[in-house]
Copies of this chain bind each other. A is one copy, B any other.
Amino acid sequence: MADKNARTFHAGPLRIRVSAPGPAPRPAPKERLTAERIVDVALEVMAADGYEAASLRRIARELGTGPASLYAHVANREELDQLIVDRVAAQMPTPVADPERWDEQLKQFMRDALDVYRAHPGSARATLGMIPAMEGSLRAAETLMSLCLAGGVPAQAAAWFCDLFGLYIGAVAVEESIWVDRARDAGADAPDHSALDGQLGDYFSSLPPDRFPLLSSLAREMVTGDGEDRFEYALDILIGGLKAYSARG
């Protein structure tokens, strides 16, 4: 929608700039300000420089205004966070439930949901403590419910599963985005998991066996597996647990 602006972010220090020397060489606001444009820019800044960089002041600067101007369209930081999460959640798929393979559909939905967060690094950080009350989050919950019910999961168990799903996916996405931000701060493109796992493995191995008999002897098991392996494991646990719970009433 306002993606024309995207190219100008992070263009590095401008070499040539024909304008009088003055305090703020920022572009004049061409288009009218809207909540949509504010969310666009928030997502762009988050993707470029991480969650913490996407402050109201920074967003205003990118839009060529002062921070006070945003308050005509967004009540406060919290409301902006809600709009961001809603925009992202709206991109999650809405499969039609098939009772023959609801469990695989449910797993796939969770993979897709995580990938949507990954495509907007940092957005998940606004997720925790938020009531899913806007369009996008409601659609995701409706989808989740339809898949669970297609599998014969009791309504109450399905409803609570939405909660558990949100908490778990949110936590994974938040954690990943913290790692991504840290890597960027360190000048890397992405976190170097294998290097880190090696170090961590050595550390666990070196723990005193009398006080940490299991961690020191099972150091390898503690550190093996990247994000994907651990996520697939968690999916098995969650869906297996859901089936067992449903089966025994």
Contacts and interface: CB of A to CB of B under 8 A. Distances in A.
Contacts of A240: 240-241, 244-245
B171 A128 contact: yes
Nearest to A182: B129
A157 B233 CA distance: 8
Contact of A230 (B163, B214, B234): B163
B221 A159 contact: yes
A225 to B, nearest CB: 6
A216 to B, nearest CB: 9
Contacts of A229: 160
B159 A212 contact: no
B129 A174 contact: yes
A190 interface: no
A229 B241 CA distance: 16
B225 A160 contact: yes
B157 A218 contact: no
A132 to B, nearest CB: 10
A212 B155 CA distance: 15
A203 B132 CA distance: 11
Q: Most chain-B CB neighbours within 10 Å: which of A158, A160, A200?
A: A160
Contacts of A167: 168, 171-172, 175
A104 to B, nearest CB: 16
Contacts of A157: 233
Given A161-B237, A167-B175, 17 more contacts: A133-B203, A138-B207, A138-B215, A142-B212, A142-B214, A142-B215, A146-B214, A158-B218, A159-B221, A162-B222, A164-B234, A167-B171, A168-B171, A236-B241, A237-B241, A238-B241, A241-B242
